[in-house]
Structure 1
Amino acid sequence: MRTILYERQHGVSYVYMNRPERYNAMDKRMLAELLNVLSEVEQNDDRMVVLSGKGKAFSAGGDIGMMADFADKAFFEEVMQTIEAVALKLYLMPKMVVSAVNGSAAGLGLSLALAADYVVAHKEAKMGMLFIGIGLVPDGGGHFWLRERVGTQRAKQFIWEKQQVQGSEAQAMGLVDVLTEHDALEHATHMAGQIQASPMAAMLKTKKIYHRNNLETLKYYLEAERNAQWELRHTKDHQEGVKAFQEKRKPVFTGK
């Protein structure tokens, strides 16, 4: 079964994360497939991209099952480089990108959702970075997207306090651009039609002006996140966080 699905309709490329039984948690294969699909989408004639998840969640983030394999530096580097390439591909996409969030967008899943030009979410969708729960920092550009949307001070506290927000609170923070009581994918599809009736050439020029100016900053964050994750995965707190997650208990951190 393909972990990423891709279809084109009416000038819109729809990209779906497709591991519903795992709440679209991303493993090495899924990340590689996502990068390949985004590379294909980048070259087609569509001017809109809608990113969503199959099943009950947008994405639960990185698959916790990969953590054991991260002891292998080559494996770790390959996965992190793929994550960085995906983030850059979304940021530099020469099209309008809309993320449609139903259910949970957590960790790396939230980073990808926030990489879009518009975030459309169901009013009960839940958003949180949650990396701190396993003693890690956000990756996939999470620090960058949060700083852009909520400011540095609020971003730090959102990350540190393992906050998870939904509905009007997520919208008030700036994590969600459009809140809907209906299916987020349906609303994103309707929104795509409205955007296509706009002067998109001008809109995309504005996107390019802003994003090209901030590109080096995003690259800095991606590299810093990769370095931090490698250092942190050797800490006792990270090992305790993963063990507690697997044992479904509250972790006991020591700051080491």
Structure 2
Amino acid sequence: MHYETITYEVSDNICVVTLNRPDVMNALDTQMRAEITQAVRQGGKEARVVVLTGAGGRAFCSGQDLGDGANAANLDLERVLRDEYEPMLKAIYDCPVPTISAVNGTAAGAGANLALAADVVIATQSAVFIQAFTRIGLIPDAGGSYYLPRQMGMAKAMGAALFADKISARQADDWGMIYEAVADDGFEAHWRKRAAHLANGPTAAYNALKQAIRASFDNTLDEQLALEARLQGKCGQTRDFKEGVVAFLEKRPANYEGR
């Protein structure tokens, strides 16, 4: 597929989807949302890890492209969220392989919550996250009301949403909002190393792991133990498990195939 608002690259089992509208800080328009949706689905089939990042260095994603004020005020936001954002966010959530957001600049509004939709968020120390919605009379959307309290707790989530403060990557790291904040120098090399680790890992186990951790919020202990047993039983039938055991006994690195 030919992409115009993003770039798509697959190499060494790593798919990198780069938001590529740097002139508007990688703001999300209709075409970009559709292209991200397609690219993540494609990457989930062609690679063993999918990375989302932004072009230009200033921003990961500045959120919804509001265009001029007149058009923005007349947006049917319910339709846009239902028909355009929801498929994109579900494509990331349902991706069968691990997903990483490599946040290399400002992540604001829907752009912040796009980042948080990934399994792992790695940010430069200079990056900031802004739940900017109340600044224009809106509530957090693009999954923000779901992800924020789960990742940073009710108190921090409520404050971040109400005040729309800038949250530095270091704060986000300290609060559990993201996985890690790392130095700007060497950032790409760092997230590529992280991606390579996952791309060479036991892919089926990663998929089961995501299912188990997500289900834990709604399950009782008995339900969670039963789910663990069922998923672990499936993992135990994979070639990767057998390879992992043999590699452990032979004291060598495992050569996982992702099946």
Normalising by the smaller structure, the TM-score range is: 0.7 to 0.9
CA positional deviation for 1:69: 5.2
Q: Deviations over 1:10-46 (max 9, x none)?
A: 001100111000000111121122122222223x231
Q: Which residue of 1 aligns with 2:20?
A: 18
Q: Which residue of 1 aligns with 2:180?
A: 178
- Preserved CA contact (<8 Å) 1:52 1:185: no
Between 169-178 and 97-106, report the one with greater CA deviation. Answer: 169-178
Change (3 A) 1:69 1:126: closer
String of CA shifts for 1:97-134, please: whole Å, max 9, x gaps.
01101110111111011111111111110111111100
What is the distance in 1 between the residues matched to 2:142 and 2:30? 14
Give SS of 2:59's match: coil
SS of the residue corresponding to residue 110 of structure 1 reads helix
- Aligned to 1:58, the other structure's residue is in SS state strand
Q: Distance in 2 between matches of 1:90 and 1:17?
A: 14
Tell which structure's C-alpha radius of gyration is larger: 2
Q: Percent identity?
A: 31
Distance 2:83 2:217 in 1: 19
Letter in 2 for 1:35: T
Number of matched pairs: 213
Distance 2:134 2:75 in 1: 22
Quote the offset at 1:164 in angstroms: 1.0
Q: What is the alpha-carbon distance in structure 1 between the residues aligned to residue 18 and residue 153 of structure 2?
A: 29
Query: SS of the counterpart of 2:118?
Result: coil
1:187 to 2:190 alignment: yes
2: CA distance, partners of 1:5 / 1:197: 23
Q: Match for residue 50 of structure 1? A: 51
Q: Hey, what's the Cα distance between the residues in 1 that align with 2:93 and 2:115?
A: 11
TM-score (structure 2 length as normaliser): 0.75
Runs of 5+ unmatched residues, structure 2: 219-259
The counterpart of 1:8, out of the listed 7, 10, 28, is 10
212 and 90 in structure 1: CA distance in 2 versus 1, 3 angstrom threshold: farther
Trace 1:197-236 onto structure 2 (pairs within 5 A): 197-211=200-214
Deviation by residue 1:176-225 (Cα, 9 ceiling, x = unmatched): 2122113433321111122234333222211023346779xxxxxxxxxx
The one-letter code matched in structure 2 to 1:49 is V
Change over 3 Å in CA distance of 1:131–1:4 after alignment to 2: same
Q: Secondary structure at the match of 1:82?
A: helix
Partners of 2:135 and 2:17 lie apart in 1 by: 29
Return the match for 1:155 from 151, 157, 160: 157
**Separation of aligned partners in 2, 1:145 and 1:66:** 29
Q: Give the C-alpha shift of residue 60 in structure 1.
A: 0.5
> Could you tell which deviates more after superposition, 9-18 or 61-70?
61-70
